[in-house]
Structure 1
Amino acid sequence: MTDTDDNARHAAKMAKKKAARDKIMATKTDEKGLVIVHTGKGKGKSSAAFGMIFRCIAADMQCAVVQFIKGGMECGERDLINEKFSDTCAFYTMGEGFTWETQNKERDIEMAQAAWEKAKELIRDEANRMVLLDEINIALRYDYIDINEVVTFLQTEKPPLTHVVLTGRNAKEKLIEVADLVTEMELIKHPFRSGVKAQRGVEY
């Protein structure tokens, strides 16, 4: 077979694939605000979510971030958004650190519930096309926030075109059931297990 024959066969194969793909895409006409969950033990849940936030910023779409659990620790995304894009993306860090750091359950619950109140306010505002609830799954896991309230709110009060992204390990089954898109990050290898600490540009 000559290179010309091989190229012709490839072109015909790709043309057939494109026609099939175009036929499928022609049926995808709906637009809706999605409930998106990033969970699992692997790294990349918040990183992927912030990738979508930066897409919104690039498209000049109003968006917002509420960080649960995380407190005064460094966060490159927060610093960049607050410095350069605060007119497009409101950013609220409303935790005080992971539970093993605060060692104060009552305070953790108080902060998580305050963060949830802020989250509801931002989601109700139809100007926000995407709202990221970073690490909310951790607060839900420890029952700092009622999962039934969160699910009911997303089903009944979220504006039709608003995307809500929820991150963190151990997403509750009730949340997964109502979500439109769920991704589980699988851990295969992690440098932490080899004694490597969290590093700027990778973890924060």
Structure 2
Amino acid sequence: MDIEAPPTAARYERPEGERRGLVMVHTGDGKGKSTAAFGLALRAHGRGKRVHVFQFMKVPSARFGEHRVFEQLGVPIEGLGDGFSWKSRDLDHSAELARAGWARAEAMIRAGEHFMVVLDEVMYPLRYGWLSLEQVLQALRERPPHVTVVLTGRGAPAELIELADTVTEMTLVKHHFKAGVPAQRGIED
């Protein structure tokens, strides 16, 4: 590791534009996309902002770690799906759930009553063709100017990346699964 001197001047000039809602995308094959989105949700909630989290691949009865803490804090989090596709018994039903979930999320985004709406794992139903990319893009373009939408999942479409204000790609460098260490409560949930 090379040692470097700490900066003594700001590394960037402060933007002078107006604050507004953002479209933020967390994508890539690395771990941490949902976790980063949940961190943003917690930060916004901590500032007294109204937040809602939609999880497109989790079942409504899910009780993972994020559900437990968000419930304690009063941050709504909704599972909209029936699990990942390889666990589904009926992919047509999975697609119907995704479309119904998108209708709920789109209505909330357009209503403008929330500072932040998180669309966790929305890239899966987009990639599977269960949701119309153009409809999602249109809702993001037409959302009220103060609403921030955070979208997560592998394989974000180029059109969404182009539209977004901030895109972070999580890169897989090393993962404990490859060393034979299974998923752990409190880490993967």
Give TM-score, length-normalised by structure 2. Answer: 0.91
**Do the aligned partners of 1:102 and 1:108 also contact (CA within 8 Å) in 2?**
yes
Matched, 1:121 2:107: yes
Q: Shift in Å at residue 56 of structure 1?
A: 1.1
Asked if 1:134 corresponds to 2:123, the answer is no
| Structure 1: unaligned runs, 5 residues or longer | 1-9
Partner-residue secondary structure (3-state), 1:49: helix
Cα separation, 2, equivalents of 1:162 and 1:48: 18
User: Residue 67 of structure 2 is aligned with which of 75, 78, 94?
Assistant: 78
Matches within 5 A, 1:69-108: 69-71=57-59, 72-82=61-71, 84-86=72-74, 89-108=75-94
Alpha-carbon distance in 1 for matches of 2:89, 2:160: 27
- Tell me the distance in 1 between the aligned counterparts of 2:62 and 2:174: 24
Counterpart AA for 2:122: I
Q: Percent identity, please.
A: 40
- Give the counterpart of 2:138 among 149, 152, 166: 152
Tell me the distance in 2 between the aligned counterparts of 1:128 and 1:45: 21
| SS in structure 1 of the partner of residue 118 of structure 2 | strand
User: Which structure has the larger Rg over C-alpha atoms?
Assistant: 1
Residues 138-197 of structure 1 deviation map (CA, whole Å, 9 limit, x = unaligned): 1101011010110011112x1101100000001111111111110110001001111111
2: CA distance between counterparts of 1:106 and 1:171? 22
Match of 2:177 in 1: 192
| 1:125-146 per-position Cα deviation (integer Å, ceiling 9, x unaligned) | 3220000000000110101101
TM-score, length of structure 1 as denominator length:
0.85
* Aligned pairs, number: 184
Aligned residues: CA RMSD: 1.8
SS at 2:149 equivalent: strand
Which runs of 5 or more residues in structure 2 are unaligned?
A: none
Comparing both structures, which one devotes a greater share of its residues to helix? 1
| Mapped pair 1:28 → 2:16 | yes
Write out per-residue CA displacement over residues 39-75 of structure 1, whole angstroms, 9 at most, x where no aligned residue.
0000000000000000011111001011101225542
Aligned AA (1:40): G
From 141, 163, 173, the equivalent of 2:148 is 163
Partner of 1:40: 28
